[in-house]
Chain A
Amino acid sequence: MTITDPLLHVSGLTKHFPIRGGFPVKRTVGAVRAVDGLDFQVAEGESLGLVGESGCGKSTTGRLITRLLEPTAGRITYAGRDITHASRRQLAAVRPEIQMIFQDPYSSLNPRQTIGRIVAAPMEIHGINPAGGRERKVRELLETVGLNPEHYNRFPHEFSGGQRQRIGVARALTLSPKLIVADEPVSALDVSIQAQVVNLLQTLQKDLGIAFLFIAHDLAVVRHFSQRVAVMYLGRIVEIANRSDLYENPRHPYTRALLSAVPEVTDHARPRERILLTGDVPSPIDPPSGCRFRTRCWKATDQCATETPPLTRIDGNGTGHLAACHHPETARTTVAV
């Protein structure tokens, strides 16, 4: 895959949340290093999956890109335009093109507004009047996401969890965005409903050519939805590759351990390799030096503590398959087609 001019270009993206304390006057005494130097790109119409365990900084990343949070350092470029520290006014031009879908379909919809108003709100805010009127546009959108357009005047509590998530999707589509940041869009839903929403998002991505930054902890869902996948650990990307490379030929020990931990329905038939990680993820306030995974890694050496491994292409990897490891896993000889 060659990326000539990515839609979204992120480099060195960093977010530190200050911790205040001290005596007698409170001051900044440290920082939660939630996101610590991310580099990645999302091409037009592409879906990049961002996976990792809780506290790895994946949600913070989503909020930085939609500028719900102010980055501490780094650069976010959208369609060639630097939006890292863009003001509200400057952002207004790109806001319609970058939309967000949230995890919790219950709390992300205003319970006092009809779904018609909720879905029309982005048009109101940006003063857009589509041909045929806003209501017609909203009805079309409801139909697109598989809801009955007749339900235009109903309130969120009249819908089930899956339907509410569809409302959230419709709202995100209102302004015909080019990039949707979806933060755990299906993890609050039941299995059977989850599949409905994943299919919907996939259809939208293909039919409307929308690029996605798909943030999730479920590796199987991410694999299903994203052409490329980045794995995060403690605020950094440890490995990024296209789907088949990452899942079939993981080079970072953490990626391998993570994949091996996923319980699969087929496990009973042919038990897969199991790597059991011990201990817990260290605190992002005082992360380990060098490679952040070294405290739980079975391959760690002194070098891992002193040198931060760069995120680069490792021997045996295809183009665009980057990993940050001093002692990568050996490449599989049988490369799947």
Chain B
Amino acid sequence: MSTHTQVSTHTQAGAAFLSVRDLKVHFSTEDGVVRAVDGLSFELERGRTLGIVGESGSGKSVTNLAILGLHDRGRTALDGEVLLDGKELLTATERELERLRGNKMSMIFQDALASLSPYHTVGAQIGETYRKHTGASRREARARAVEMLRRVGIPQPDVRVDDYPHQFSGGMRQRAMIAMALVCDPELLIADEPTTALDVTVQAQIMDLLRDLQQEFGTAIIFITHDLGVISRIADDVLVMYGGRCVEKGGRAEVLRAPLHPYTLGLLGSMPSLDGPVDVPLSPIPGTPPSLLTPPQGCRFHPRCAFAEKVGGGLCGSNRPLLEPSEGHSERHAAACHLTPEQRREYFADYAAARVN
């Protein structure tokens, strides 16, 4: 696979704790090749949280399965670079990855009930990870499991350690999964929609827990979600994905307050709020997400974009925009859009004004 799509923001190799460069994940299916991720680059420092936002099919989950090497190897083609603490993961052997998974990097999933084994006690599942990576005895692993359950706030951990996942409530199961992911003090934690299936009060508990644990251990976290509200509570940096590509990234406040990409703007306009006006309709993004079998040419968002016609020469439908910073915004805040800074200032202001009034 060629690497003709170089991304302009480029820091020195090995500088970041996790560095993903021009990642491509293509699945072969009966209908053709699905370009689930198509040239994605980002970096993450220790102790920071990167929020990845996107709708279903944007490639946000696939990206992270590929980092851990959990994709279906038989039908997936990977390209690009994933450096974790200087170590290349895409070319690593299965054995090397097994040593890293659950140890240096671990993952928690959305549906804790389905993601925990129904056949083993919560304690056994937590202890198993610990034994695998530390060679601890059964007894030590159990003690460690109790300690982890206590740390994630499970009441009576010494009793609950012998329960099965179905005996836990939804929130407790997600806590148990976090305990399992953190049992070896990983340096990278990937959380794939960990709060989506939970009620808001429990969601708030889990987000607080993750933040506390991060402060304690300095873990780097990738937090995948479709909910910008959740992002605003937990992320330091935000990466917005659309159709397998990054359309915008930057600091949380920058991206949420002054988005540069029409898609980010559209997402914000789609969300009702607790204190906004109620008598104006929401501003949804028209149309539906693209098929990744035959993604649109140029900017993948252009068929749904309200501003595509403002860009001259049909550029949006032919050329892939580069991910680059915009004039008047910080160097870290970049978007992949053909609009000029002046156009953006003009149209986005109108757009925002239309929403508020």
Question: Do these two chains interact?
Answer: yes
Residues of A in contact with B (beta carbons under 8 Å apart): 53-54, 160, 162-163, 190-196, 198-199, 202-203, 217, 219-221, 223-224, 243, 247, 257-269, 274, 276-281
A263, B229: Cβ atoms under 8 Å?
A: yes
**Contacting A261 at CB < 8 Å: which of B203, B231, B267, B285?**
B203
Q: Given A162-B288, A199-B281, list of 18 further CB < 8 A pairs?
A: A53-B202, A191-B227, A192-B266, A193-B284, A195-B285, A196-B286, A217-B199, A257-B201, A259-B274, A261-B200, A262-B200, A263-B229, A264-B274, A265-B229, A265-B273, A268-B253, A276-B205, A280-B171
Smallest distance from the beta carbon of B301 to chain A beta carbons, Å? 11
A192, B268: Cβ atoms under 8 Å?
A: no
Smallest distance from the beta carbon of A252 to chain B beta carbons, Å? 14
Q: Complex: how many Å from CA A268 to CA B271?
A: 16
Q: Complex: how many Å from CA A160 to CA B286?
A: 13
B272, A198: Cβ atoms under 8 Å?
A: yes
Q: Complex: how many Å from CA A110 to CA B18?
A: 47
Q: Complex: how many Å from CA A49 to CA B235?
A: 31
Smallest distance from the beta carbon of A222 to chain B beta carbons, Å? 9
Q: Is the interface of A mostly helix, strand, loop or mixed?
A: helix
B256, A220: Cβ atoms under 8 Å?
A: no
Task: Knowing A223-B278, A264-B229, say if A195 contacts B270 (CB, 8 Å).
Answer: yes
A243, B204: Cβ atoms under 8 Å?
A: no
Could you pull out 23 A-B pairs where Cβ atoms are within 8 angstroms?
A: A53-B202, A54-B199, A190-B56, A190-B226, A191-B267, A193-B288, A194-B270, A195-B269, A202-B281, A217-B199, A219-B200, A220-B273, A223-B272, A258-B201, A261-B200, A262-B200, A262-B229, A263-B207, A265-B232, A267-B232, A277-B201, A279-B155, A280-B202
Q: Complex: how many Å from CA A191 to CA B230?
A: 13
B288, A217: Cβ atoms under 8 Å?
A: no
B172 contacts A by Cβ under 8 Å: yes
Q: Complex: how many Å from CA A167 to CA B153?
A: 44
**Contacting B208 at CB < 8 Å: which of A194, A195, A247, A276?**
A276
Q: Complex: how many Å from CA A219 to CA B276?
A: 13
Which residues from chain B contact A190 at a C-beta distance below 8 Å?
A: 55-56, 226, 289
A-B pair number, CB within 8 angstroms: 127
B188 contacts A by Cβ under 8 Å: no
Smallest distance from the beta carbon of B233 to chain A beta carbons, Å? 5
A196, B200: Cβ atoms under 8 Å?
A: no
A191, B226: Cβ atoms under 8 Å?
A: yes
Task: Knowing A263-B227, A268-B252, say if A195 contacts B203 (CB, 8 Å).
Answer: no
Task: Knowing A217-B200, A264-B232, say if A269 contacts B257 (CB, 8 Å).
Answer: yes
Which residues from chain A contact B257 at a C-beta distance below 8 Å?
A: 268-269
B170 contacts A by Cβ under 8 Å: yes
Which residues from chain A contact B121 at a C-beta distance below 8 Å?
A: none
B288, A263: Cβ atoms under 8 Å?
A: no
**Contacting B284 at CB < 8 Å: which of A199, A224, A262?**
A199
Which residues from chain B contact A160 at a C-beta distance below 8 Å?
A: 288
Task: Knowing A265-B256, A267-B229, say if A192 contacts B278 (CB, 8 Å).
Answer: no
B169 contacts A by Cβ under 8 Å: yes
**Contacting A195 at CB < 8 Å: which of B169, B228, B232, B284?**
B284
A224, B232: Cβ atoms under 8 Å?
A: no
**CB-based nearest B residue for A194:** B270
Task: Knowing A193-B288, A258-B201, say if A266 contacts B282 (CB, 8 Å).
Answer: no
B214 contacts A by Cβ under 8 Å: no
A220, B208: Cβ atoms under 8 Å?
A: no
Which residues from chain A contact B286 at a C-beta distance below 8 Å?
A: 196
Which residues from chain B contact A266 at a C-beta distance below 8 Å?
A: 232, 273, 275
The residue in A199, A221, A224, A243 that gathers the most chain B C-beta atoms within 10 A of its C-beta is A224
A196, B232: Cβ atoms under 8 Å?
A: no
Question: For residues 285 through 306 of chain B, which have their beta carbon under 8 Å from a beta carbon of chain A?
Answer: 285-286, 288-289
Which residues from chain A contact B283 at a C-beta distance below 8 Å?
A: 195
